[in-house]
Each structure stands twice: as C-alpha cells, then as structure tokens.
Structure 1
Amino acid sequence: MSDDHREEAAGSESSNKNSTKKARHFDIEAIFAQTISEQQNRNAARQTEASGLDDLASTSTAKESDGGKAGRVEGRNSGTDKTTDSSVDRLSAKLSDQKVQPDDEDDDDDVGPALPPGFVPDVSVVADTSAPQSSAADSKDGHESDEDDYSVSSLIPTIYETKITHGTKPVLAISFDGQGSKFVTGGQNYAVQFFDFQKMDSSMKPFREVFPFESHVITSVAYSANGETLLVASGEPQIRLLDRIGKQWAETVRGDQYLVDIANTKGHTATVNHVCWHPLIKEEFLSCSDDGSIRIWTTRDFKVLTKCINKHKGVIKTKGALGRRVIPTTCAYSWDGKLIAAGCDDGSIQVWKHGQNYINTKYLGRNAHSAPVTSICFSPCGKKILSRAMDNTLKLFELADFKKPLFEVKNLETSYQQTSCGYSPHGEFVFTTTSERPTKTSEKGSLVFFSSANLEMVYKIDYDDVGAVCATWHPKLDQILVGLSDGTGRLYYDPRSSVRGALLCATRPVKRVRATEIIKEEMIIAPLALDMFQPRGEEGEEKEVTEWRIKRVLRMQSGRKKPQFRKPAEMPMTGHSAGGRLAKSGGTLHSYIAQELGKSQNQTFIQDEDVRASILRHAEDAEREPLYISKAYKRTQPVPIFQEEPVEDEEEPEYKVRKLNK
C-alpha cells in the first residue's frame, strides 16, 4: 500500500472516533464559585496560623520583661491581642459568610493572591460596613468632596499665578498674540509694554516699553492673528500700527473734525475706544470712536510714501431711538466674521451684517442696559451675545430675541469703562471682572466665572485693596491674564492643561546684574584654545601647535623681545606744501642763494640788540622817499615827533606811592 492510501485510511479512522464522542458542557459559574470558596478557605487557615504565632510571641515578650515596665508592656500586648483577635474574628466571620454564599457575584473583591505568612490586619484602616461611609472619610484633606468643584477646578487653569508689573497706574488693555508667544499691556501711564515668554525669567519683566502716543491714555490694544501687527488705540483719533518689536510702521489718517457728515471724513475725529481684528481676514480690523462712528480698515490701503492708511474701507453710524448720534464704546466681530456688533453709551447693542449696506441693523437691543456698555462678546455658536455694562450687570442675550435677556447677573460692581467679559476656549464658562470702591482710598475687585448655560457662579478669585479691570483667556495656552488697577497683572495657569507660556519662564532663575561687581577669582584658560596659538598657513612642523610655538608666542607677548612696529618714513616733498606737510627750504639752488643773501643783508639787524634804534635808523630815508602808505596821507598825515633823549623818571604823586606795611 502506498503512503497516500495509508494517510487517507488513518484520517478516516480518526474522523469516525471523533464523531462518536459527545461534547462536554462546562458550568463556568460553578467553576468560578468553587475557585472562590477554595481560596477563601486557604486564606482563613493562614490567618488562624498567623494569629496563633503572634499570641505566642506576645506572651514570651511579656514574661521576659520586669517591673512596672513589664506591666505596661503586658497591658499594651493584651490590648493588641484583643484587638487582633476581634479583627480576626470579624474577618473570619466575613469569610465564613462568603463561604456560605459562594454564588454571590458581589464578592469579587475578595479574590486575589494568598496573603503572606504572619500578616495581621490593621484595625485602624478596616472599614465598618455596618455604618454608611461619609464623604469626609473619602477625602484626603478632611473636606467634603464635591464633584462639581473638582470638574470646575480642572477646567479653569488657576492653580498657579505669576505677577506682572506694568507701572503704578491701572492696566486698561491687554492682548495675546495668536500663537501665545507674546503679550502686551497698556494703561493710564501712556506706556505699552511687550512681554516675550521665550526671553523672560521668573521676574516677568518686559523686553521693551514704548510710548506711541506720548501723553495719551492707552484704551485698547489688539494683536493680529499671525502676531505681526499690533493695533494701539488711545485718546487720539489716530490708530497706530506697531510691529513685533514695538516700532511704528503705519497709522490711520486723521479725519476732518469740521465736516458735519462723519461719513465724508477719511478717519476718526475723536478718541478711539476699542479696536479688534477680523477673525478670518488678516488685513481687516475694526475701530469705534467718540465721534459716533465705527470704521472698517484694511492694511491694503497703506501708502508707503505717507506711511499712513489714507482712507477707511467702510463706516457705520450708530444712532439712538430718535435718530440722534450715540457713542459706540465697544465693538466686536462674531466668531465667523459675518456679524459686527457695537455697544453704545445709551445702553443699546446694535448688530449689523458684515459686507452689506450698514444703514439698517440686523439685530437691535435698544434697552439692553441702562448704562454705557463696556464689553460685548459673541458665543462660539454665534447665536448669543454676552454683554457687560456700567449698570453693574452681566447679561446673556439671544440674537433672535433682544427684548429680554436669557440670563442676568446683578451686583457686579465696576468703575472702569474698559471692564471686560468673555467666553472660555470651549464655551462652557463665561468670565468678567469687578472693581468696587467702598471708600475713596480703598478698592476691591474680583475675577468671576459663571456657567454659560445659566450664568450661575462657579468660581471666584478675590483681590484685596485692588480692582480688576480687564481679562483675557488664551485658547491655545489655556492661561488667563488679568489687568489690575494698581498697575500690575496676574497670569494664571495649570501645569495639567496649560502649555508653554508661563510654564517656560516661571521656573527660570532670575539673572543677576554683574555690571558693578568685581570678580576676584582666577580664570583658567587653556593656551592651546586661544586664537593666537592657531596655525596661520605655516609649513612643516610650525603648522602644528607645538611647544616651540607656545614659547615663541609667549616671548612675543613679553616686553623685552616684543617686535617694535615703527612708522615708515614718508616720501619727500617734490612740490608745494600740502596735506599738513611743509616743503623743505633750501632744497634747490635758487632757494639756497636767496636764503644766504637774506642772512648776509640782515646780519646787522639780527645782531643789533636795540630793535627800536635799528628801525629809526631808516626813518629819514623813508620820510624823503615814501613808497607805500605815506603818499596817500601826505597832506593829512601829522608830523611824527620822536623822543630823542630819555627823560629821567619824575617823582610819582603821593596817591601813587605805595604804603609799606608797618
């Protein structure tokens, strides 16, 4: 028989055997219950053996000790034995109960590896199952655990804070750039300070401070999406555009304040209250002013020759109920850039559709507030708007129905027109700042967080003796920056959720300034590492750094054998004197003869000591034959009279006689 036939026969026999076998059924629950009961029995037996060994050890220890000390030891051991026995009894009773009911599925926690020999349970940590567990026992700190507080604290990054110093006057404007690498602050001290997380240490000092408007208060600042341009608004009608390092490269045109129709002017004519960038169009930005207009600008209209944006792209007039002009105090774009909103000093909120004719409003809340609006912000969905006003309220409106707010929070004191509000990055919270003045000299403030669903307060940070003016929450960094009324700021962050930003510079040590310090320690420098010992194109062995090269350089450095570099001799003068150099006299035959003749003729004059007599010797000849000036003044010139003989000194008068000191 071949191998193939044998394999086929063996396969048929095995298949016949398997066909006659019956399938076995396993009861998994019964097997699992049996395993649990066996393990519980083993654990109980080991616990009994361990307690017996502990009783023997405690008895022998008590017998070896003597005196009152022995009594105290026996008392403690007896107490421990009683406690241990009671704990073991409870544990064995529990195990016996579990043994009686092995089919209970709730006893899975008792299943595990065998306990080590000699293990005694600690009574202090054994939970009493008869009494209900309190929330205080579950918390580590002894405080009541609240799931809502835990969720809020994990979502709001306020675990750590750093202090930022801007000056001594309130900080009215703050802004992050898009990536979160820089931020700026502006305030009543007319200064704009630039902060860079990459360059700062734990002292949190700015790397640049500029005064773009000299003596005008900074009202608003805004970084572009890419962080290349910074808008700065102030008490002037012009808006300055600064670059990353604070250098001005453009400004908006100043309007004509004598024109009645503000639409005919090319720019603002009064204080600019607020500026902001378009969320999608990187060249476009928005501004509102006390002249009653909201203007749309674009950097494409920038003229290099004038370094100015010569005209606005669009203008919006804000009007009251009777058609009169009202002042827009704040403005904002929606998240998608399709809507433009403005809060006015009469308490109204007006919304227009972007890109169309801005004559009629799309949404209007005429009686939204009873005081000037300080800040407005669209919800992430774009269907709601959050507003903050000087009437000490925070309101949430539905755009479709502006007559009545959805939710309202009262008694939020504010003293600054730049008080801000906003949404968290994911829209689950809203925040605002408060500033209260109980007296003329004291001030209190806070940063308050509310739930965006119903405006219920969920978190609050109080500031003693200082008011909170403005705040912003960066979505990428997950960090909160707050400007205070004492000229400082607070930057809050959470290492669990925050990235970069304050985490980069909060742990950097402060660098000391060593300009006025003297270092007295000796500095060790390797000679071969200096540039003077490096080869400079020599050939042969001199090309390598050897001992001979070191000795030669050291000899040159010493004063004895250091080569003297002298100034080369200048070329001789061939012409007239030039370049501060004088031509040498007597260099030619003519000059030599003239020099000798002059010396011979004037030899008597040079040798004569009485210069006056040598001059008067030629007076008679000059009088007979005048050559120069005497001919012109011959008729009018007086006759000179010279003194021929010296006269003896006359006696001086009495008033000129010196009095000798007695």
Structure 2
Amino acid sequence: MDSFSVDEEAMRQFMPTAFGKQSRGANVQAQLEQSKRPPTTSGKALLSSYESSEDEDGEAPARDSDDDEDEDDEDEFPVSHELVLKTHERTITTTTLDPSGSRLVTGSTDCTLKLHDFASMTPTTLRAFKSVDPSASKGSANNETHPVHQVLFNPISPAQMLVVTAHPQAKILGRDGEVLIEFVKGDMYLRDMHNTKGHVSEVTCGAWHPTNRDLCVTAGTDSTLRIWDVNNKRAQKEVLVHKSRAAGSAGRTRMTAVTWGSPSQGGNNVLVSAALDGSLVMWSGEGPYNRPAGEIRNAHTPDTWTGGIDISSDGRLVVTRGGDDTIKLWDTRKFKQPIANVAHPSTSSQFPTSNIKFSPMSTNIITGSQTGHLHILNPATLKPDLVTPVTPGSALITVLWHQKLNQIVTGSANAETHVLYNPDLSNGGAKTVMSRAPKRRHIDDDPNLTMDLSQGLSGDSIITPGAGGPAPTSYAARHPTIGLTVSGKSRDPRRPHIPATTPFAKNNPDEKHVREHIPLSSMRDEDPREALLKYADMAKNDPMFTKAWKETQPETIYAELSDDEDDGPEKKKAKRKG
C-alpha cells in the first residue's frame, strides 16, 4: 500500500496541475525580498566612531547606538531595498530623474548618457533603452568625445535636459537624447569676458532656473557664470564675471559648482556658486548681476575643488562640500560665517563631480564617501543620522533624492547605479520594476545563437567571392549589438523596422551562383586587359550588348572627296604648316 502511494505521488508531481494557457504572474513579495539589502555592520561602526568623537569632546551623543534603533532608522529612510543598474563602463559622474520619476538618465566618464525607462524594465531586463553620445553634433565630422560632467532635467519642462561635458559648449537635449540646442562658443582671444558670446573654456557645471523653464546657468573655467535663454543659442542673456582676489590669479579662477534655488512657498530666488580660489559667491537670482549680493572669501581652502553645493527648499540654507575635507552649512540671510562645520573626507580631487544634496523637504542632507557609504546627515548639526554601505570599496560620487518617488539614486566609481527604496515608503520607480513578472527568456534572446539582420547587409558589408562571407567595413558591422536589444530589435521605439535588402534582392548569392548566372563575373579575378583581349573575337562575331541592332544597324556612309580635294585634309594641313 505504501509503494502504491509513493507511485501515485510521483505521478501527481509529473502531471500538470492545469491545462490550457496559463496566466503569467509574479510573486511580488519574493521579488522584493530578493532586492532587500543585506544587513551590514560597517555603517554602524562609522556611526559609533562619530559618537565616540562626540563623547571625547564632552558633548552628549546625538543618537543611541542600539541595534533596535538602527533598524528603526533604516525603516525611516528609503534604503532598505535596492535596484542595481550596470549599464556604464566607467565612473558614474551624474544622475538625474525627470519630475514624474519615470525616466532615469546617467552620465559617465565613458562619454555617454544612458537613458533608462522604469516603465519598460523588468527584474530580468535591467538595462538602458538608449545610449547617447552628447558630444556628437548632427552633420559634423568631428568624432571627439568628452566626459559628461552633469545632466539635469528641466524641473518645469521635462522634455529638456541640460548636458554639460568637458567642452566650452553646453547643450540642451530632448527627452529621448536628440540635440535641440548647442550654445555658442566665445572668442578666446578677447580678454574682457563681458564681450564674449559664450564660454571660452571648459564648462564645469550648470543649473536650471527654479521657476522659469527658459533659463539656465552654466559655470566654466573662464571665471564666469552665464545665464542662457533656450530660445537664443547664439549669445548668453547675462554674464556674471567673478573677479578672483587670489594672488597670482590675474583676477580669474575656475568656477567649480553652481546652484539656483527658490523658496517653495514663494519669494526671491538666489544663485550661489563656488570657485577654486575658495570663495563662495551669492547673487540675486533675478538680478542685477553687476555685483554679488554676498561673497565669502576663503569659505573653503583655496585651490581645493568644491564640487558639491545645494540650497534648501526654503531658500535659507546653503550646504557645501569642499575639497578640504569639510562640509559647511551657510545661512543666506547672514552670509558671512558657517553655522555648522564638520569633517568629511573629500573625493573631489579624484572625482570633481562629487556632490551633496538636500532631501526633498530639506529635513536631511545626503552625500557619498570615499569608502562607498551613503551618509544621511542632520541639517541642524551635520551629524549623520544614518550611514549605510552602497558600494563598499568604491567611491560613491553622485547622489539624488527624488521627491515624488521617495527614492535615492547613487552613482559610484565602479560604474554602478543604485536605486535605493523602501516598499512601504516609496512609490513607483524601482518598486514598480521589482513588482513586475520577470520576462521569459527565449532562445532568440541569446545573441550568440542568432544572427543580426535588422540593419541589412548592403550598407555594412562587401560581398567578396572566395572570402568566406561578408567583410565588415563599418563600426555598426563590427559591433552589431550596439543600439539593439538582445532579440535584435532597435531600442529606439520610433525607429521603423529596416528589411534586410541587398543588391541581389532577398538573398545574398554565393560564389557559385555569381559564377554561373552572372555573365563575365569571372573577369573580376583576372587582369582586365587580358580578359578583354580573350573575348575580342567573340565580341566581334557574337556581340552580346549590340546584338539587338545587328540586323538593323545601318551602314556607315562617308562623304566622297571632290576633284579639288584629292589631296585630302591631311595634305592641306601640311601645306599650311609649310
């Protein structure tokens, strides 16, 4: 009886539980558990080191270090789960999300922008749908590429992106990566920067106007900030020249960071920029720009790169992260001395785009570290509320906290983009991706087992009989998977399908077909003169190309010479020469 029960159970497991088409569902809870970040102790060790330093100073600890409270802090911030994107090849320098949180764009030192759409990704297809080289210009033969310093979505018009590369000309790109505007380059031989129509040297950073969709500002190494109107690319609207007072600078220095903020409840906006000479300069966002509203000399140590700067949502606080291993908090109403100052190891000497950001409601400040940890700081004291590892051993360079998604996006030196979220606190974005059913893999999805014919053969190859196949002659032929999905389709949804057309219609003829069905095809392997002489008699007796006129061809009739012209034209020419 027992053996019968065992056989019946084996048969039940072998037989399907249902017939017909099965609906494909997703175990959302299991997928979310897979994306949960493992508990670590490195962040707690860093927090304990901060607390021990406070105890040595005689101050009360800012927080309790119990494990239960650590877990409560992790639940308070959207860092319990993560989504990892490995779409770049080099260091991630900048990240941006559109206001709706549906599209993520990342920039890197590999000179490309990667466009990610959360609506089209699944847990098994975490990839960018398009790669863009912002340095390439339409109709230009210049193939130079430049590292991407910064990319920012327009907060008012998400159809525009401000892209800053290591080049004097910033660009405005569309939502899908097409170049809309390329700002003009100034005359480098003019000494007065007010008279140049654009930057004369490399642009380092930029920012959008907080309330006007048509205005943006760029800062460069020519010691200027330039305000642009996107409707006029031939000249900037305003020029803000920073006159450095550092010794030996000749009045010029490099502008390293810029931010443009406005109070969320309304009011005057401010424009703040940092320079390589250590100064911090503030202008009124709406002008006049003939002189700054406030300037702090030696806000940070001169000749150190201050790459991180941001303004709080109420427009009152400015936080800076300097290359002198400090983070400082400033009050725009009393723009003289920092109201808070803490030590924080800098990464700007190696990664100039290392930034620092306020949270959406300015209740926290986030930044990265050389060790790959994410630091969430208290804006009142700049002490860490939470330190959590994201890419241990690899520097965390750029951070972003999106307001609508309530998710944190980080970019690291190991070319990884991490989207941190919490299923209970976050909305959309990475949470939506991990809630979808994984895509079923098909044998055609493996590019090693399929042949890419989506771009055809005529434009990318030369058919050479005897060569054993087509010879790739272009970049697209040598890299057939660039710009394509694993199934061979274009990643650009607007691009129509291109049929595989060749000079010989549908098929690519082999050597035998060419030799047997195409007349005179063997002449391509012979000396042209010998081949023509070999067919001279045959062409005379059986003309191939003029055979249709053989019967109807008229005889050639020449004019007869008269008696006065017996000598002929040749003898007349000779007489004239004599």
Q: TM class, shorter-chain normalised?
A: 0.5 to 0.7
Equivalent pair of 2:93/2:397 in contact (CA under 8 Å): yes
1:494 corresponds in structure 2 to 422
1:512 corresponds in structure 2 to 441
- Within 5 Å, give how 1:559-598 maps onto structure 2: none
Tell me the amino acid that sits aligned with residue 515 of structure 1. Answer: D
Q: Given the alignment of the two structures, is residue 182 of structure 1 paired with residue 111 of structure 2, yes or no?
A: no
Structure 1 CA distance, aligned partners of 2:234 and 2:559? 75
* Unpaired segments ≥5 residues, structure 1: 1-142, 302-308, 436-443, 519-625, 638-662
Q: Secondary structure at the match of 1:515?
A: helix
Equivalent pair of 1:235/1:270 in contact (CA under 8 Å): no
Match of 1:426 among 361, 368, 374: 361
Which is further off, 207-216 or 315-324? 315-324
1:211 corresponds in structure 2 to 133
Bigger helix share: 1
From the superposition, tell whether residues 205 and 344 of structure 1 become closer, same or farther in structure 2 (CA, over 3 Å): same
Structure 2 CA distance, aligned partners of 1:516 and 1:384? 51
Match of 2:306 among 373, 380, 386: 373
Q: Which has the higher contact order (CA 8 A, sep 6+)?
A: 2
- Within 5 Å, give how 1:417-456 maps onto structure 2: 417-435=352-370, 444-456=371-383
Equivalent pair of 2:330/2:340 in contact (CA under 8 Å): yes
Offset at residue 348 of structure 1 (A)? 1.2
Identity of aligned residues (%): 26
- Calculate the TM-score normalised by the size of structure 2: 0.61
Offset at residue 362 of structure 1 (A)? 1.4
1:658 corresponds in structure 2 to none
1:128 corresponds in structure 2 to none
Offset at residue 272 of structure 1 (A)? 1.1
Q: Secondary structure at the match of 1:504?
A: helix
Structure 2 CA distance, aligned partners of 1:475 and 1:627? 94
Offset at residue 403 of structure 1 (A)? 4.2
From the superposition, tell whether residues 629 and 174 of structure 1 become closer, same or farther in structure 2 (CA, over 3 Å): farther
Offset at residue 321 of structure 1 (A)? 2.6
Q: Secondary structure at the match of 1:487?
A: coil
Offset at residue 218 of structure 1 (A)? 0.7
- Within 5 Å, give how 1:266-277 maps onto structure 2: 266-277=197-208
Q: Secondary structure at the match of 2:281?
A: strand
Offset at residue 204 of structure 1 (A)? 1.9
Structure 2 CA distance, aligned partners of 1:181 and 1:516? 26
Q: Secondary structure at the match of 2:432?
A: helix
1:394 corresponds in structure 2 to 327
1:89 corresponds in structure 2 to none
Equivalent pair of 2:322/2:346 in contact (CA under 8 Å): no
Which is further off, 356-365 or 478-487? 356-365
Match of 2:396 among 447, 464, 468: 468
1:485 corresponds in structure 2 to 413
1:416 corresponds in structure 2 to 351
From the superposition, tell whether residues 516 and 189 of structure 1 become closer, same or farther in structure 2 (CA, over 3 Å): closer
Count of residue pairs the alignment pairs up = 373
2:229 corresponds in structure 1 to 298
Q: Secondary structure at the match of 2:394?
A: coil
Offset at residue 195 of structure 1 (A)? 0.8
Equivalent pair of 2:244/2:253 in contact (CA under 8 Å): yes
Which is further off, 290-299 or 321-330? 321-330
Tell me the amino acid that sits aligned with residue 406 of structure 1. Answer: I
* Unpaired segments ≥5 residues, structure 2: 1-64, 137-144, 448-556, 570-578
Equivalent pair of 2:93/2:107 in contact (CA under 8 Å): yes
Offset at residue 292 of structure 1 (A)? 1.1
From the superposition, tell whether residues 425 and 516 of structure 1 become closer, same or farther in structure 2 (CA, over 3 Å): closer
Cα displacement string for residues 238-272 of structure 1 (whole angstroms, at most 9, x for unaligned residues): 11111111111211111111111111111111111
1:571 corresponds in structure 2 to none
From the superposition, tell whether residues 418 and 190 of structure 1 become closer, same or farther in structure 2 (CA, over 3 Å): same
Offset at residue 355 of structure 1 (A)? 2.1
- Name which one, 1 or 2, has greater alpha-carbon Rg: 1
Equivalent pair of 2:408/2:421 in contact (CA under 8 Å): yes
Q: Secondary structure at the match of 2:227?
A: strand
From the superposition, tell whether residues 318 and 627 of structure 1 become closer, same or farther in structure 2 (CA, over 3 Å): closer
Tell me the amino acid that sits aligned with residue 352 of structure 2. Answer: Q
From the superposition, tell whether residues 513 and 466 of structure 1 become closer, same or farther in structure 2 (CA, over 3 Å): farther
From the superposition, tell whether residues 510 and 348 of structure 1 become closer, same or farther in structure 2 (CA, over 3 Å): farther
Q: Given the alignment of the two structures, is residue 200 of structure 1 paired with residue 118 of structure 2, yes or no?
A: no
1:285 corresponds in structure 2 to 216
Structure 1 CA distance, aligned partners of 2:255 and 2:175? 29
Tell me the amino acid that sits aligned with residue 347 of structure 1. Answer: G
Offset at residue 630 of structure 1 (A)? 8.5
Equivalent pair of 2:327/2:341 in contact (CA under 8 Å): yes
Structure 2 CA distance, aligned partners of 1:507 and 1:229? 29
Which is further off, 231-240 or 397-406? 397-406
From the superposition, tell whether residues 264 and 516 of structure 1 become closer, same or farther in structure 2 (CA, over 3 Å): closer
- Within 5 Å, give how 1:65-464 maps onto structure 2: 144=66, 146-147=68-69, 149-202=70-123, 203-214=125-136, 215-225=145-155, 226-301=157-232, 309-321=233-245, 324-336=251-263, 338-370=269-301, 371-414=304-347, 415-435=350-370, 444-462=371-389, 463-464=391-392
CA RMSD of aligned residues (A): 2.6
Structure 1 CA distance, aligned partners of 2:116 and 2:560? 82
